[in-house]
Structure 1
Amino acid sequence: MPKKTIKRMMPDHQTIKENKYLKVFGDLLHNANLWHLNRHSVAKAFAVGLFFAFIPVPFQMVLSAGIAIIVHANLPLSIALVWITNPLTMPFIFYACYLVGVWVLGVPEQEFAFQASWQWILDSLSTIGPAFLVGCGLLAIIFSILGYFVIHSFWRYQTIKAWKSRPHR
């Protein structure tokens, strides 16, 4: 069952409740529905987490947690999925976002060399920024919808398979 696999990989809910950045949500974190694993909460968590994984803003985890609370998605899973874009994968994912944005907008691809400075970021907003942001938005929507339906369908398939194998036990 996917439930056992996900439960094994999820962070402890007490650790999440004590996170200093998530304290802004206060008593909302005590809603028991945020911690249950079922087909609907996990599918919503994948949609929320994957969406914010592609959005290039600081505090993606806090944004993901806020939306997960609103839509009653599994909170630990929503937060954990944001880390798909981590320091190792971020350059590849965000470059792919840029290429998708270039393709969608029909603009020529521009050469650039990343520099870790605010000045470079501000200068790049006018040159590569539009294509990058369009690509990020589009891939965020696509992967969140895809993640929702894939997880929902896979969970349902596993449940049906488990029910059909019951008489044989």
Structure 2
Amino acid sequence: MTAWDRIAAWSRRNLPTRESMERSRLLRPVAHRVLAPELWRFTRRSVPRGVALGMVAGILFPVAQIAIAALIALPFRANVPVAALVTFITNPFTTPFILFAAYQIGAWLLRANAPAVAQPVAEAATGWLQWLWDAGPPLVLGLLVLTLVAAVFGYALAALGWRLWIARKWRHRHEHRRHGGCH
């Protein structure tokens, strides 16, 4: 099993289903739009859009990320399940690193002399809220920059991955025909 096959299998297991989206209380008012069949098709344009929008929802919004990703997928005609799946880029393991990187980027851009940023990882749950409040402008700017870079990179990587996948399918089909349809 190749790495791509493992990624595809993991994605299939974790992609939200139309039924789970239909049951979501947050999406109920717009369920008819979110569940439109064209938003659930995997195409060369909708998948990279879904990746980029999933990055935006996953990094910028701390709660209701899947619902937000589904909602912002509507006007961009992005693939809803992909957008929802990509929001998992932020989770309890990656969030401290994302916040740390965002703060460092923001502090560097604002040329702010920052206090130790390893503090929120080491402190108890109440300490990180105070740190977020104190971090303010550098953190917000860093999150915006990080989100933009991640969305652009994710879009490009998904578009490239799509191209490589299609090229592999065509190559396999061509070899299959060249060998008389038998393996």
TM-score normalized by structure 1?
0.85
Bigger mean CA deviation after superposition, 95-104 or 20-29: 20-29
SS in 2 for 1:128: helix
Q: Which runs of 5+ in 2 are unaligned?
A: 177-183
Distance in 2 between residues matched to 1:167 and 1:47, nearest whole Å: 32
Q: Which amino acid aligns with 2:163?
A: R
Partner of 2:181 in structure 1?
none
Distance in 2 between residues matched to 1:28 and 1:167, nearest whole Å: 39
The 8 Å contact of residues 45 and 75 in structure 1, kept in 2 or not, is answered as: yes
The 8 Å contact of residues 110 and 138 in structure 2, kept in 1 or not, is answered as: yes
The 8 Å contact of residues 49 and 81 in structure 1, kept in 2 or not, is answered as: yes
The 8 Å contact of residues 18 and 35 in structure 2, kept in 1 or not, is answered as: no
Bigger mean CA deviation after superposition, 159-168 or 5-14: 5-14
Structure 1 residue 123: Cα displacement: 7.4
SS in 2 for 1:39: coil
Partner of 1:141 in structure 2?
148
Partner of 1:165 in structure 2?
172
**Greater Cα radius of gyration, structure 1 or 2:** 2
The 8 Å contact of residues 56 and 136 in structure 1, kept in 2 or not, is answered as: no
- What count of residue pairs does the alignment treat as equivalent? 166
SS in 1 for 2:105: helix
Equivalent of 1:8 in 1, 6, 12: 12
Partner of 1:37 in structure 2?
42
Q: Pick closer, same or farther for the CA change 1:20–1:43 going to 2, 3 Å.
A: same
Partner of 1:72 in structure 2?
77
Partner of 1:62 in structure 2?
67
Structure 1 residue 145: Cα displacement: 0.8
SS in 2 for 1:77: helix
Q: Pick closer, same or farther for the CA change 1:56–1:14 going to 2, 3 Å.
A: closer
Q: Which amino acid aligns with 1:75?
A: V
Q: Greater relative contact order: 1 or 2 (C-alpha under 8 angstroms, separation 6 or more)?
A: 1
Q: Counterparts in 2 of 1:83-94, with a 5 A limit?
A: 83-94=88-99
Structure 1 residue 85: Cα displacement: 0.7
Q: Pick closer, same or farther for the CA change 1:30–1:157 going to 2, 3 Å.
A: same
Q: Which runs of 5+ in 1 are unaligned?
A: none
Distance in 1 between residues matched to 2:88 and 2:168, nearest whole Å: 31
Q: Counterparts in 2 of 1:119-134, with a 5 A limit?
A: 121=129, 124-125=132-133, 127-134=134-141
Equivalent of 2:116 in 94, 106, 111: 111
% identity of equivalent residues: 25
